[in-house]
Amino acid sequence: MNRPKVLIVDDVEENLILLAFALKAFDVDVVKAHDGFEAETLCTEHEFLLIILDVHMPGRTGIEAAGVIRAETRNGMTPIIFLTADTTASEIPRSAYSIGAVDVMFKPLEAARLRAKVQVFLDLYLARMKVVGLMERLEASQAQLIAQEKYQAVSSLIGSMSHNFNNQLCIAEGYATALLEDADAATSGPLVKIVAAVGACTELLEKMQSFTGVNQVTTSELAAADRLILDFVKALDVVTPEGTELSTDIGVGVNELELAPQVLRKIFLSIAQFLAEQIGSRAALAAVDVFGLAADGALLVNIRCRGVTIEPTVQAAVMDFFSSNDVVAQQQSIGLAAAKTMTQDLGGLLTLEAAPDSFEVHLRIPLAALKSELNLG
């Protein structure tokens, strides 16, 4: 949590020095302003725990500055304590309270009384920050839960579709084979091609089922990291449009890494879903380069997609999915957002970088997390 800031405003430098000295007892950053205009500028740039504001200043009085701060800056609700040396002007307290002051203190300043008031506001601020922190953690846990539920729903849908698709392939192969048995020379050639095409589709489906974990039994056996990356590229070959150029570059030593495959496959599946969405929506052919490397105790995978421009709204939704109000962007980014969540759960990092005619996905996951049996299934 950032240190809270207190703004002190006075046109007399000696008064600022005394105020700063009085606040040394607190764990706060003291920011000084020498007139009302400077105070207004600082209030547009920073959020303050408390503002201590002199009433009588040349150019812009404290009352005038407070009105602007309340109406036009990010400190519209920040407590303000007014300082004045004029104990005879009865209208000053009334004016100060009408503009939103929490107190008016008279000079010469009573340091003990000021510290007591600052302590109250500091305690309130720290209590509010604890609540904000709890809310942020709750929101993060809810986001992870929703992402996991969405991933499970997608996995279930893939499993159901794969089963139905496999049934239709079996029917097509059965009819084609039966026709082939009684076919003459003129029709046997096309039927042979049909049977071969069905067989090729069945093989691709089996690869996808193996990659996504459909019909796959959870195991404690480890898999080579380079094999998992190559399986990911094979999956891209299935889900991306025909003609997409794919290349793979795996660094030395990656083949020696033995990892728990289930979680990494889920992350790769979600990335593949995102790439298929982005590439499939473009008319021009794209190219995907996959780089794998092991360094500093982590598996690094860089995926560069050339010939595709990523929309800023999609990039924003990936990095902060639940803050996006763009439903279309959320639909297009859900795959990579889910991969980002799973990566963070492993203590890793996933980033999306956009360029004018390309984008890159950078994946970094600690090897210790990928080897742990706790991450299986």
Tell me how far apart the alpha carbons of residues 352 and 372 are, in angstroms, rounded to a whole number.
26
Pairing of strands 80-84, 50-54: parallel
Q: Could you tell me the CA-to-CA distances from 68 to 30, 33, 63, 95, 103 in Å, in that order?
A: 21, 15, 9, 14, 18
Mean pLDDT of 197-206: 73
Tell me how far apart the alpha carbons of residues 253 and 261 are, in angstroms, rounded to a whole number.
17
Full strand arrangement of the beta sheet holding 5-9: 29-33, 5-9, 50-54, 80-84, 103-106
Q: Among 285, 283, 290, which residue's Cα sits nearest to residue 304?
A: 290
223 membership: H or E segment, kind and range: strand 223-224
Helices and strands, number each (H, E), in the chain? 11, 12
Pairing of strands 245-250, 50-54: unpaired
Lowest mean pLDDT among 117-131, 134-148, 187-201, 207-221: 207-221
| DSSP state, residue 297 | T
For 286-355, list the strands marked E by DSSP.
287-295, 298-306, 349-355
Q: Are 55 and 84 in contact (CB under 8 A)?
A: yes
Give the phi and the psi of residue 357 in degrees, each rounded to 5. -135, 30
**Model confidence at 27: pLDDT above 60:** yes
- Mind listing the pLDDT tens digit for each residue in 219-252? 457 788 888 898 888 888 877 888 889 999 998 8
Tell me how far apart the alpha carbons of residues 305 and 238 are, in angstroms, rounded to a whole number.
16
Tell me how far apart the alpha carbons of residues 374 and 195 are, in angstroms, rounded to a whole number.
43
Residue 373 pLDDT: 44
In the chain, what percentage of residues exceed pLDDT 70? 81
**Model confidence at 52: pLDDT above 90:** yes
- Mind listing the pLDDT tens digit for each residue in 29-48? 999 999 999 999 999 999 99
Q: Are 121 and 50 in contact (CB under 8 A)?
A: yes
Tell me how far apart the alpha carbons of residues 155 and 151 are, in angstroms, rounded to a whole number.
6
- Mind listing the pLDDT tens digit for each residue in 322-372? 677 777 777 778 778 888 888 888 889 999 999 988 999 999 999 888 876
Q: Indicate the pTM of the whole model.
A: 0.46
Q: Are 81 and 51 in contact (CB under 8 A)?
A: yes
Question: Structure tokens of 371?
Answer: 């080897």
